[in-house]
Each structure stands twice: as structure tokens, then as C-alpha cells.
Amino acid sequence: MSDVNVGIIFKSYEPMSAIQKYAAQTEASGFRGGFWIAEAYHWFRSYGLEARGCFTALAAATMATKEITIGLGITSPYVRHPTILASECAGIDELSGGRFVMGIGVGKVGIEYLEYDIDVMKPVPVHQEALDIMRKVFTGEAYDYEGKFYKSSMPGYDRAADGLRTEIPIYVGATGPYMQRLAGRSSDGMLLAGLTSPKFVEYAIDNMRKGAEKAGRDVPADFPVGGVILAACSKDGAKAKAATRSYTGTYVVNKLRNIKNDVILAGSGLPDSAWDPFRKAIEAGTADDVTHLVTDEMQRKFTVISGTPQECLEITQELVDAGLNTPLLEVVGATEADNLETVRLFGEEVLPHLKPASASLAEAS
């Protein structure tokens, strides 16, 4: 079994019954990275999908598993006050027996309709304050906190006496360089967004290490660096590549319209002109119909993990060698059966052959 911590992640627009099946299969298939949920927002109704609450989805996954990590990757502190997030964390962590990993990030597609001025409530200080408050809640110690954006005070409570953890890992979803530096400075792990190429992984890790160094923090070699990677695995490679195509298009549009991070797109190695048809679709109001613009080359350049088991192994190994030690496979088959097949097939035919970055690179040299 590989030492790489590959996990499975689904968005919370999946039916609860399906989430439980996916979580159970993830555990049965030996995914050391665990089962994760990403919060879905009402924006996904544009694609015929209905969002469920992410913590409810996590509870469903927890009840279907016994040993693996249960992770949230991610929800936004713009959507819930940090004290509410901490309470939700406490519940899932207790239910899972201390298996929970929390993830926070901007979630720009989810907050763009809210009455926030993100240029005033800047992501880095907002997330730093959220980290500070959540950790204070977890300790159970009484505190008074007044930041620039959040104010909170709470009496003490002996969490340990109730068998509750006083420290819960918090990962930061980091798309831009300043959030990546925050991850290195203050988080327990960094999560990168979809369409994560090896070059972007290296770029993000460099920023993360700069943030840690400036804070005088010694980041261990196994510091979790995760990325949400679109995935579909099938003996029929063309079927798998077709399954990820529309989602790749959605991610490209999201990068151009919402996140506006050119480094992610440039990291693919494709020329900027490759995105002109997507820009035109956004201008024309047809951004929800760009699947036909996504080529196999685009998917391969973005290391979308789709194809046969051998192709999936090759692509995943590239990401691991670049430093992504916690790849989270966002499984996107056409049906529930296809999704279960991806998890099972990946577990049987890819995980056993994955190598840690150091071992793989040593063999290559």
C-alpha cells in the first residue's frame, strides 16, 4: 500500500444516501487520505444540482465509516461566524471519535451574492482571525477576543473532561500567494483548488514556505499539501475523460470569472490564447455550456486524473512528485455506479503502485 495520503472528496450537492455509499467505499478501498466534503452553494443550481449543508453531509459520511479521516475542504468564514464553525467542528469531531479535519477558505462562488466587500474584509486577516477564534474555542479556556473583523468572548468549559479534543487540525484553502503564505504561517495544512498542475503545486509550496519562514515557523517535510483534483477512472479511458470534461470547463470558467488567478491557468503550460473561447462564452452569457471547448490536452495539462487506471497512476504520480502529498480526488462520474467504480478501481489498481515523491524521483534519476 502506498504511503501517499490520497483521499476522496465530493461536494455537498450529492444525495445523503450516495455520500454514505461513497464514504464506505473509500474506507473499504484503503484511501489513507480519508473522505472529504466540499461545501456546495446555491450557485450549483445553474448546473441542475441542489446544495445540502456541508456539516450534515459530513455527519452522514462519519456514520458510514469507522477509521478513516473525515475532512471538510472547504467552507468559508464569510458564511458562518468562527464560533459557529467551531461548534460544528466539535460536533463532527465527537461523532467521528476524533477523526475530523477542518478546512476553511474564501469560497468565492458561494459568497459573491452576500453583502460582503471582500476588498474591505480581506481574506488573509479574516481567515487569520477565524483560525485564532476557532482554536480558542477548541481549548475550552475562557477568552475575550477583539479583532478587526470579529469580536468574540466565551466562558471556559472543560472539553477534555467530556472526552472532546482540545486541538482540531485546521487546513486553509489557498488559491493566491497571500493565502498560501497564511497557510504556511498559521495552518495545519494547505488545500489547493481544482485545476492544480505540478507547476502550480511547486509555486504554492514555495509561497507556503515563505510564509512559514517569515513567521519563524519550522514546517515539517510531511506538512499536508492537498489539492482537489477532478477524477474519473475506468477501464474505458475515453468514458472517464468524457466524465471530467464538463467539470473541467466549469473550473476554467470559475478561474476566469470569479477567482481571476492567472497563475493557475498559466501553470498548465498552455498559451493564454487557449482561454479566449472561454472568455467569449462568459461575455456572451453561455459560460454554462463550455464542455465542447475542453480538449483532452487541456485536461492532461491540468493533471485532471481521468482515464484508465494506468493513465490515472501516471497523472497522480506527477502531482505527488511535485509535492502534493494529499491528493483529494473529486470523483465526477455520470452515475452513482460510475463514481463507486472510480473509487474501487483507483483503490485496487492505482494506490498500490503510487510512490512517495522521494522514492519516485530517486528511481527516475
Residues 159-203 have pLDDT tens digits of: 999 999 999 999 999 999 999 999 999 999 999 988 889 999 999
Would you say residue 1 lies in a domain? no
Would you say residue 203 lies in a domain? yes
Instruction: Please give the pLDDT value at position 193.
Output: 86
Question: 1 pLDDT exceeds 50?
Answer: no
CATH of the domain at 284: 3.20.20.30
User: What is the three-class DSSP state of 16?
Assistant: helix
* Number of domains comprising the chain: 1
Question: 236 pLDDT exceeds 70?
Answer: yes
Structural domain that includes position 336:
7-364
What is the DSSP annotation of 258-288?
II--HHHHHTT---GGGGHHHHHHHHHT-TT
pTM (2 decimals)? Answer: 0.94
- For the stretch 105-156, pLDDT in tens is 998 777 776 777 888 899 999 999 999 999 999 999 999 999 999 999 999 9
Cβ contacts of residue 208 below 8 Å, gap of 6+?
174, 180, 181, 183, 184, 190, 219, 223, 225
C-alpha cell at 338: 460510475
C-alpha cell at 198: 505540478
Q: Are 94 and 164 contacting, i.e. CB atoms less than 8 angstroms apart?
A: yes
360: left (phi over 0), alpha (psi -120 to 50) or beta: alpha
Mean pLDDT of 62-80: 97
Which of 322, 305, 328 shows the shortest CA–CA distance to 360? 322
CB neighbours (10 Å) of residue 292?
A: 10
* Strand positions, DSSP E, 17-81: 34-38, 70-72
Would you say residue 74 lies in a domain? yes
Would you say residue 98 lies in a domain? yes
Higher-pLDDT residue of 285, 364: 285
**CA–CA distance from 168 to each of 87, 88, 107, 142 (Å)?**
12, 12, 21, 18
Mean pLDDT of 276-298: 93
**CA–CA distance from 316 to each of 166, 321, 345 (Å)?**
35, 9, 14
Would you say residue 2 lies in a domain? no
Radius of gyration of the chain (CA): 20
Would you say residue 48 lies in a domain? yes
* Strand positions, DSSP E, 17-85: 34-38, 70-72
Instruction: Please give the pLDDT value at position 210.
Output: 98
Would you say residue 80 lies in a domain? yes
Would you say residue 339 lies in a domain? yes
- Read off the DSSP letter of residue 121: S
Give 180's Cβ-side CA count (13 Å radius).
Answer: 19
